[in-house]
């Protein structure tokens, strides 16, 4: 599969250009994903962070072609293996899902069919994409996948039903299912939100480990900046449907420059807050309603640095260094602030 992707430049697995997803109703038009562009390179983990309602899940669903009516992708390109996913017909897209790109959801307890054994559910995915594989043969590779995702005693587990497994085990089954046909891109939509803290780390380590072993790229959607620091290579910050900043995960501690990113970082609870009694920061105000976005920067009303120019027009994306861009008129780096 990899060898066929000669058409895509510089080892990029996925290239999104100007993607816009809109939910239309007779009364209003909600722009959930607004002119989003980014690239996912082979073997990297790209984190997409943002508050609830910032459009990160809709972005993932748009890439998978799963946006349900009344939502639809109105503009942009999603390039994968030299093909534009937005131009594929349903049948062509179906053949790619699961085989070339796969998604895992937040809630492992509702993501599995309660009436089927977990092994059977994974086997069906293989049967769908490789119909010539014999049943017994497919079952063997299911057991192999279960072993790969660290499910103990996979020979017995394949015959169990979802309710017999713990949340962490179910999420492992989901991962095994997503990886059943060896996709080159895995979208993980808040894969650990519903799990115990202890299990969270296991699942994220597993995804990280599998990424390296299978050479795939991971798009990790999360609102947990701690997860970003530990597992991501690059970070996209979304606000009100737009990308407001992109930077390398290593710069998270001191390199972020968009006021929204900085505000998000300040909201992180850590043990120090509890011990010192310093109250936790919050971002005042709320995300503006997506059907009535302001003409200028959507964050302006909550922003300390906002000036008239911010409310007047949409700030353009500016390059701030290698792999670092932000959409803000006052996106000053810490260094610049010191100089001023």
Under the rule (CB under 8 A), what is the footprint of another protein?
A: 64, 66, 69, 94-99, 102-103, 105, 107, 110-116, 124-125, 128-129, 159-161, 174, 177-178, 180
Nearer of residues 123 and 211 to another protein, judged by Cβ: 123
Question: Smallest distance, Å, CB 294 to another protein?
Answer: 32
Nearer of residues 110 and 166 to another protein, judged by Cβ: 110
Question: Smallest distance, Å, CB 104 to another protein?
Answer: 8
Q: Which helix (H) or strand (E) holds 122?
A: helix 118-129
The H-assigned helical ranges of 217-258 are 225-231
For residues 64 and 103, the answer to whether their CB atoms sit within 8 Å is yes
Segment 332-335 long-range contacts (CB within 8 Å, at least 24 positions apart): 332/257, 333/255, 333/257, 334/254, 334/255, 334/257
Nearer of residues 179 and 256 to another protein, judged by Cβ: 179
Strand ranges for the chain from DSSP E: 12-24, 29-41, 45-49, 71-80, 83-84, 101-104, 185-189, 217-222, 234-239, 242-248, 317-321, 324-327
Residue 237 has a CB neighbour count (10 Å cut-off) of: 25
Nearer of residues 47 and 175 to another protein, judged by Cβ: 175
List, edge to edge, every strand of the sheet that includes 29-41: 29-41, 12-24, 71-80, 83-84
Nearer of residues 97 and 258 to another protein, judged by Cβ: 97
Q: Which helix (H) or strand (E) holds 128?
A: helix 118-129
Question: Smallest distance, Å, CB 159 to another protein?
Answer: 7
Q: Check residue 329 and report its DSSP letter.
A: T
Nearer of residues 26 and 316 to another protein, judged by Cβ: 26
For residues 247 and 234, the answer to whether their CB atoms sit within 8 Å is yes
Question: Smallest distance, Å, CB 125 to another protein?
Answer: 5
Nearer of residues 47 and 96 to another protein, judged by Cβ: 96
301 burial level (CB within 10 Å; 0-12, 13-18, 19+): middle
Question: Smallest distance, Å, CB 188 to another protein?
Answer: 12
Question: Smallest distance, Å, CB 182 to another protein?
Answer: 13
Of 185, 10, 172, 196, the C-alpha closest to 103 is: 185
Question: Smallest distance, Å, CB 280 to another protein?
Answer: 32
Nearer of residues 125 and 244 to another protein, judged by Cβ: 125
Given the structure tokens 């594929």, which residue do they identify? 88
Question: Smallest distance, Å, CB 199 to another protein?
Answer: 18
Packing angle of the helix pair 167-178, 135-148 (nearest 10 deg): 120
Residue 62 has a CB neighbour count (10 Å cut-off) of: 25
Nearer of residues 112 and 249 to another protein, judged by Cβ: 112
Question: Smallest distance, Å, CB 142 to another protein?
Answer: 13
* The Cα angle at residue 320 between residues 317 and 324, in degrees rounded to 5: 80
């Amino acid at each position: 599969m990899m060898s066929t992707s000669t058409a895509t430049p510089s080892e990029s697995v996925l290239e999104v250009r100007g993607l816009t997803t809109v939910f239309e109703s007779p009364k209003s038009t909600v722009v959930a994903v607004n002119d989003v562009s980014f690239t996912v390179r082979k073997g990297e983990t790209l984190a997409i962070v943002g508050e609830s309602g910032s459009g990160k899940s809709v972005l993932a669903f748009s890439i998978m072609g799963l946006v349900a009516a009344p939502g639809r992708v109105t503009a942009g390109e999603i390039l994968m293996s030299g093909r534009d996913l937005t131009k594929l017909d349903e049948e062509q897209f179906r053949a790619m899902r699961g085989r070339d790109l796969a998604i895992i959801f937040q809630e492992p307890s509702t993501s599995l069919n309660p009436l089927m054994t977990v092994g059977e559910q994974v086997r069906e995915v293989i049967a769908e994409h490789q119909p010539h594989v014999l049943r017994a043969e497919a079952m063997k590779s299911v057991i192999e996948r279960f072993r790969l995702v660290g499910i103990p005693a996979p020979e017995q587990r394949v015959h169990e039903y979802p309710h017999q497994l713990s949340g962490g085990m179910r999420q492992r089954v989901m991962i095994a299912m997503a990886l059943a046909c060896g996709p080159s891109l895995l979208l993980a939509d808040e894969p650990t939100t519903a799990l115990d803290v202890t299990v969270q780390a296991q699942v994220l380590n597993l995804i990280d480990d599998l990424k390296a072993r299978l050479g795939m790229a991971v798009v990790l959607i999360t609102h947990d900046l701690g997860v970003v620091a530990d597992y991501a290579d690059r970070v996209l910050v979304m606000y009100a449907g737009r990308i407001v900043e992109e930077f390398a995960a290593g710069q998270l501690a001191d390199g972020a420059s968009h006021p929204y990113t900085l505000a998000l970082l300040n909201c992180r609870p850590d043990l120090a807050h509890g011990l010192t009694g310093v109250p936790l920061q919050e971002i005042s105000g709320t995300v503006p309603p997506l059907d009535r976005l302001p003409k200028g920067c959507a964050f302006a009303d909550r922003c300390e640095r906002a000036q008239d120019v911010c409310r007047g027009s949409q700030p353009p994306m500016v390059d701030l260094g290698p792999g670092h861009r932000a959409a803000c008129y006052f996106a000053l780096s810490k260094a610049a602030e010191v100089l001023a």
